[in-house]
Chains A and B, each alone.
Chain A
């Protein structure tokens, strides 16, 4: 059984740039959620995708956007990067109608200079 994989693991960007983070969900899972974890904080819910559509969103501005593909993999895009966007971005997959357990990837560590 393949776990959740994220790429890249680390990246550095400058203010104003755009970034795309990628996530492959665990085999058999149809739902992907994205979380932002700033240093010293717990993860904060960004949004969730199910059947290629956004299905719930946290308190994040529109410059945070995402996609889910037919194979259930997902992308998180952030435009006009700000210094406060520096964080660990976590992807979690789950199966709707299953146990409700989320399986997290190791995250993508984004640094904005």
Chain B
């Protein structure tokens, strides 16, 4: 059973388009993190959301944590080819470092 479901699994869009990816769970997490992973590299942390309803912005990326702390979304405005990569959400439970990852959304932005 996948604790964190990410959708869509794959997304191919043109440069300049907007997109939203979702991360849903039936479990409550103390916090949720979003990572971006490029081929041949490890995941890199983009943001941590902690409070239910929290919204964080990172340039063209907007992250939201659901009120019940079970789900999250990532919205990218005016996507660029440099945004291409695998976007992973990870729920934090228990001890530090024990992250539960979703399968990821593979994003391809074409010029």
Does A62 touch B at the CB level, under 8 Å?
Answer: no
Q: Tell me the minimal C-beta distance from B8 to chain A in angstroms.
A: 14
Closest to A107 in B: B42
Whether the pair B42, A92 counts as a contact (CB closer than 8 A) is: yes
Contacts of A106 on B, CB cut-off 8 Å?
40-42
Q: Tell me the minimal C-beta distance from B7 to chain A in angstroms.
A: 13
Contacts of B99 on A, CB cut-off 8 Å?
33, 35, 43, 45, 102
Whether the pair B48, A102 counts as a contact (CB closer than 8 A) is: no
Interface size in chain A (residues, C-beta < 8 A): 27
How many A-B pairs have beta carbons closer than 8 Å: the answer is: 65
- From A44, A94, A99, A105, contact of B97 by CB (8 A): A94
Within 8 A of A (CB), among B15-59: 31, 40-45, 48
- From B4, B31, B41, B42, contact of A100 by CB (8 A): B31
B interface, size bucket: 20 to 34
Whether the pair B40, A31 counts as a contact (CB closer than 8 A) is: no
Whether the pair A96, B103 counts as a contact (CB closer than 8 A) is: no
Mask for A80-113, Cβ within 8 A of B = 1, else 0?
0000000000101010100111111111000000
Q: Tell me the minimal C-beta distance from A69 to chain B in angstroms.
A: 17
Mask for B85-109, Cβ within 8 A of A = 1, else 0?
0001010101111111111100000
